[in-house]
């Protein structure tokens, strides 16, 4: 037949075949295939570019996902750009405020050709603060404030654009009576802190300054010392935590937006595996698709920022306004946003795809998922607590340079604690929903959906979870800092509502001023007090500055009863006051019945060489001092007009305490108009029981504005997230409707599907917020105090946002449940 099976095909004795076989068996083994090399920059760039092309040319589904991503990222980028503009907004306002400052520093210059005499003439109108200065030049070369062409002459004034508009409107009709000046121009931008500021410069005659309580001279405009005082450590902590709480939800939402349309995208990636792409290449292509959406989101965010920038400029909120040129992002922060947002989109996509098996025949996502690990989720909040705990009780303590890092340490600890709280949410949702079982049809539809994709549901509420947790902690810190920065004024607004201090030359001027104020509409009564100082003529002190002094107060009986505990009072009575030793010294008891006092003073210094003596009547009654409505206590002598002629007082001071009729609207404005007829610089002070520091008020206003913007972003972002999820389920919803499922059933299932993660997220945010709040209170040395009302309000706001988003998603949900959704191309 034929030769051996393994032998050579050529004829012969078989030797050649055996030799060949031996040679083959003795040859060295073939080298093993080299492992695939890690892709280089060129490979990465090519795959990312391919993903970008798929985002553009992948049809309607790809465009829908790209637009969703761009809108979501754009909303977050807009808020980040606004936050990046805060440094330039603050510096722009500070530079202009320093340029227009008109306060005397050091020794006041003597009158000369280059000096100008000033007095503050601020006033209030409804809820508007109006900054004003009255001025009169001393010579022919006076300095002029920024923003005006020339100094106003007597009877003229420059006004800001906002004040000019107010005076010309119907709203400012009552205000026009307060300014007896002719408007000659509008103050330019360089002379204003913001476009919505109410400011004016008015010219008055030199002699009108005689009625001004305090005036001063300057020879140049602008603050010389701009360093300012450092903020209180508690306020610094409030600013740091406020920035973390406001910006962290934005960053989390940007990361969430990069995963929009993930399920449909992953199914398209299976086709790439079918044509030969490996798993790493498909991930890079998916990252390129997200990268394109995030870059487009940067453009959307920049466009929205420019629109918001125009809307912000000229607008006023909580007394703050900015010019368009101020709202410019800091260059380093803007570059960080431009680089970080696309990089985070790529990183989030790659991390999300590590748990997904994309095979040529489909995506293994709906199989039984691997349980989420808990240990690393607990590690994040523990690291945050580890950073915050060492700062307990010593955040404001000075050290050898270490205190400069404490704000950064506090910010890092808060970020880790809040992110750890958010990271726990997917594990918590998965652990809870897997135990759900029987129930109504809407409940079963909702729980089954949550069991299949609990991560998507957790991501939808992650932003509101971290926002509520941070808001609860911030509220606890805010309440503590507010208590530290709030002082009791000892004023009693129930006894009097307005008070004015006036310089008068004699008693006739005081009586005229009291009469004008009493004739103002809405004034029930005027408690007019005229007072001056007197000294002890028996003193042996060689230096007049060391002669004991006290005060003589002249008023009618109703006013005197507000100053001392007086049971019986008639015109002609005199009282000696026994004051609290806290307010008086041991030398103030020389004004006794029958004693002589010296009324002569020169620039606040007694003149024993040229005395004006007056004898205290022996019939004077001793009374105990009483805290007046302003919160002060008087000592010395109280006299009625029938017992002492006010014209005998040297350099008297008049004080008017007014009681208003609450039934008369704008009663305060009528009083301010009446005060302007007495003196343009007369300060009308409103009595309040407490006052807060200006720094705290400014921080509170900025945090309120930022919280409003963040809340609006969270609401808008959740609407976008919900619409994206509904779009992914469009066909499934249409199938259910085609099989006869009622719309109400599906609507309730959507509500339950949203409510379960929300309830779990709010519970987690309460725990995380309380933990962070306790640590923050320990850092500022305060005891643990939970503002339960504030906590309930924050939780209610978070739940309200979810409810509004759910209701807003119902109309598109009903449109997607139409049978036309079964069509495909």
pLDDT, residue 38, reads 54
Q: Is residue 541 part of a domain?
A: yes
**Number of structural domains, the chain?**
3
367: exposed, middle or buried (C-beta count within 10 Å: 0-12, 13-18, 19+)?
A: exposed
Same structural domain for residues 422 and 464? yes
Contacts of residue 458, Cβ cutoff 8 Å, sequence gap at least 6: 425, 426, 429, 757, 761
- What's the rounded Cα separation, in Å, for the pair 723 and 729? 10
Is 413 a member of any domain?
Answer: yes
DSSP conformational letter for 320: B
Evaluate whether 136 touches 152 at the Cβ level (below 8 Å): no
Question: Which pLDDT does position 687 carry in this prediction?
Answer: 84
Say what the pLDDT of residue 24 is. 37
* Helix residue spans in 173-319 (DSSP H): 173-176, 233-257, 262-274, 279-312
Confidence at 12, pLDDT banded by 50, 70, 90: very low
Instruction: Specify if 25 maps to a domain.
Output: no
Nearest Cα residue to 76 out of 710, 747, 816: 710
pLDDT digits (tens, 9 = 90+) for 739-783: 777 778 877 887 787 778 888 888 888 888 888 888 888 887 776
Helix or strand (DSSP H, E) at 21: helix 15-26
DSSP state of 34: P
Higher pLDDT, 103 or 824: 103
Statement to judge: residues 432 and 376 lie in one domain:
yes
Residue 370 above 90 pLDDT?
A: no
Q: Is residue 7 over pLDDT 70?
A: no
On whether both 532 and 674 belong to a single domain, the answer is yes
Q: DSSP readout, 580-620? A: -TTTS-GGGG---TT-EEE--EETTEE-TTS--EEEPPTTP
329, 77 contact by CB (below 8 A) = no
Q: Which pLDDT band holds residue 46 (cuts at 50, 70, 90)? A: confident
Do 699 and 592 fall into the same domain? Answer: no
Q: Identify which has the larger pLDDT, 198 or 765.
A: 198
Q: What is the separation of C-alpha 593 from the centre of its chain, rounded to a whole number of angstroms? A: 59
Residues 326 and 358 in one domain: yes
Q: Report how far residue 248's alpha carbon sits from residue 244's, in angstroms, rounded to the nearest whole number.
A: 6
Q: Are residues 610 and 636 in the same domain?
A: yes
pTM of the model: 0.71
Sequential DSSP letters for 489-549: ----TTT-SEEEEEE-SSHHHHHHHHHHHHHSTTEEEEEEEEEEEEE-TT---SSGGGS-E
Question: How much of the chain exceeds pLDDT 90, in percent?
Answer: 18
Cβ 396 vs Cβ 233: under 8 Å? yes
- Of 163, 197, 218, which closes a domain? 218
Instruction: Name 565's bridge partners.
Output: 624
3-state secondary structure (DSSP) of residue 258: coil
The tens digit of pLDDT for each residue in 749-759 reads 877 877 788 88
Please give the DSSP secondary-structure letter assigned to residue 684. -
Tell me, yes or no, whether 718 and 683 share the same domain.
no
What is the three-class DSSP state of 84? helix
Nearest to 446 by CA among 436, 459, 431: 436
Same domain, 514 and 640: yes
Where among 164, 190, 218 does a domain terminate? 218
Question: SS3 of 638, please?
Answer: strand
Within a domain: 36: no
pLDDT per residue over 696-716, tens digit each?
777 777 777 766 666 676 676
Residues 513 and 453 placed together within one structural domain of the fold: no
pLDDT for residue 474 is more than 70: yes
Q: How would DSSP label each residue in 154-198? A: BTEEEE-HHHHHHHHSSTTHHHHTT--SEEEEE--GGG-SSTT-E
- As a whole number of angstroms, the distance between CA 320 and CA 326 comes to 12
Shared domain for 461 and 507, answered yes or no, is no
Same domain flag for 78 and 124: no
Pick from 231, 200, 197, 226: nearest CA to 94: 226
Query: Would you say residue 38 lies in a domain?
Result: no
21 domain-assigned: no
Which among 49-53, 259-263, 358-362, 435-439 has the top mean pLDDT?
Answer: 49-53
Q: Is the pLDDT of residue 398 over 60?
A: no
Residue bearing tokens 């086709």: 271
Write out the residue range of the structural domain in which residue 394 sits. Answer: 45-88+231-485+694-822
Task: Determine the Cα–Cα distance for residues 309 and 324; give it in Å rounded to an integer.
Answer: 7
- Looking at the structure, do residues 546 and 683 belong to the same domain, yes or no? yes
Angle at CA 792, nearest 5°, toward 789 and 796? 140
Which of these three, 673, 691, 709, is where a domain ends?
A: 691
According to DSSP, residue 28 is labeled: P
């Amino acid at each position: 037949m034929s030769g051996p099976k393994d032998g050579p095909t050529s004829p012969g004795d078989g030797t050649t075949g055996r030799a060949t076989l031996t040679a083959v068996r003795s040859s060295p083994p073939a080298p093993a295939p080299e492992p695939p090399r890690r892709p280089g920059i060129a490979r990465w760039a090519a795959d990312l570019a391919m993903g970008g092309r798929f985002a553009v040319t992948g049809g309607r589904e790809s465009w829908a996902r790209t637009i969703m991503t761009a809108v979501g990222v754009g909303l977050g980028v807009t808020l980040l750009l606004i936050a990046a503009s805060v440094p330039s907004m603050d510096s722009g306002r500070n530079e202009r405020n320093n340029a227009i400052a008109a306060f005397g520093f050091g020794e006041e210059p003597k009158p000369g050709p280059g000096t100008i005499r000033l007095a503050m003439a601020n006033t209030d109108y409804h809820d508007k603060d109006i900054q004003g200065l009255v001025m009169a030049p001393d010579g022919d070369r006076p300095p002029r404030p920024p923003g005006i062409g020339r100094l106003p002459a007597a009877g003229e004034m420059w006004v800001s654009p906002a004040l000019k508009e107010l005076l010309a409107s119907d709203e400012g009709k009552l205000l026009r009576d307060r300014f007896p000046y002719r408007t000659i121009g509008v103050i330019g931008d360089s002379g204003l802190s913001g476009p919505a500021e109410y400011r004016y410069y008015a010219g008055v005659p030199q002699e009108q300054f005689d009625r001004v309580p305090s005036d001063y001279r300057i020879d140049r405009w602008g603050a010389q010392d701009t360093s300012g005082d450092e903020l209180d450590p508690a306020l610094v902590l409030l600013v740091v935590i406020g920035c973390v709480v406001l910006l962290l939800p934005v960053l989390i939402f940007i990361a969430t937006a990069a995963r929009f349309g993930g399920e449909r995208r992953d199914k398209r990636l299976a086709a790439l595996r079918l044509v030969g792409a490996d798993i790493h290449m498909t991930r890079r292509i998916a990252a390129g698709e997200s990268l394109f959406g995030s870059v487009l989101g940067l453009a959307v965010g920049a466009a929205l920022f420019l629109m918001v920038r125009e809307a912000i400029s000229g607008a006023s909120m909580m007394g703050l306004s900015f010019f368009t040129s101020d709202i410019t992002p800091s260059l380093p922060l803007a570059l960080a946003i431009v680089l970080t947002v696309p990089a985070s989109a790529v990183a989030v996509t790659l991390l999300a795809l590590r748990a997904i098996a994309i095979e040529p025949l489909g995506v293994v996502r709906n199989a039984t998922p691997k349980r989420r690990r808990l240990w690393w989720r607990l590690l994040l909040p523990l690291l945050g607590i580890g950073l915050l705990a060492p700062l307990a009780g010593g955040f404001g303590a000075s050290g050898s340079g270490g205190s400069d890092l404490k704000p950064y340490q506090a910010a890092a600890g808060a970020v880790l604690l809040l992110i750890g709280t958010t990271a726990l949410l997917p594990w918590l949702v998965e652990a809870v929903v897997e135990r759900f079982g029987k129930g109504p049809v809407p409940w079963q539809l909702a729980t089954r959906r949550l069991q299949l994709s609990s991560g998507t549901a957790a991501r939808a509420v992650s932003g509101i979870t971290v926002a509520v947790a941070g808001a609860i902690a911030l509220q606890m810190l805010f309440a503590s800092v507010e208590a530290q920065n709030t002082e009791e004024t000892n004023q009693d607004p129930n006894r009097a509502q307005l008070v004015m201090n006036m310089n008068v030359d004699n008693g006739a001027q005081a009586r005229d001023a009291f009469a004008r104020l009493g004739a103002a509409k809405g004034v029930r009564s005027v408690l007019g007090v005229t007072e001056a100082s007197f000294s002890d003529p028996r003193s042996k002190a060689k230096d007049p500055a060391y002669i004991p002094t006290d005060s003589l107060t002249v008023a009618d009986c109703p006013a005197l009863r507000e100053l001392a505990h007086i049971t019986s009072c008639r015109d002609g009575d005199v009282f000696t006051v026994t004051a609290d030793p806290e307010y008086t010294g041991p030398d103030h008891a020389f004004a006794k019945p029958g004693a002589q006092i010296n009324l002569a003073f020169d620039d606040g210094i007694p003149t024993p060489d040229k005395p004006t003596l007056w004898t205290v009547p022996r019939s004077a009654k001793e009374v105990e001092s009483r805290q007046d409505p302003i919160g002060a206590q008087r000592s010395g002598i109280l006299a009625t007009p029938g017992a002492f002629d006010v014209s005998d007082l040297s350099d008297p001071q008049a004080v008017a305490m007014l009681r208003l009729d609450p039934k008369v609207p704008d009663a305060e404005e009528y009083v301010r108009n009446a005060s302007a007829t007495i003196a343009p610089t007369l300060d009308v002070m409103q009595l309040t029981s407490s006052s807060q520091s200006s720094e705290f008020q400014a921080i509170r206003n900025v945090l309120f504005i930022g919280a409003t913007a963040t809340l609006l972003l969270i609401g808008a972002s959740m609407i976008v997230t919900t619409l994206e999820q509904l779009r992914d389920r469009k066909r499934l919803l249409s199938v259910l409707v085609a099989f006869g499922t009622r719309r109400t059933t599906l609507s309730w299932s959507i509500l339950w599907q949203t409510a379960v993660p929300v309830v779990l997220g709010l519970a987690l945010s309460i725990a995380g917020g309380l933990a962070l709040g306790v640590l923050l209170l320990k850092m500022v040395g305060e005891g643990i105090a939970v503002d339960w009302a504030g906590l309930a309000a924050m939780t209610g706001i978070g739940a309200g946002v979810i409810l509004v988003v759910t209701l807003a998603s119902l109309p598109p949900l009903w449109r997607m449940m139409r049978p036309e959704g079964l069509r495909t191309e």
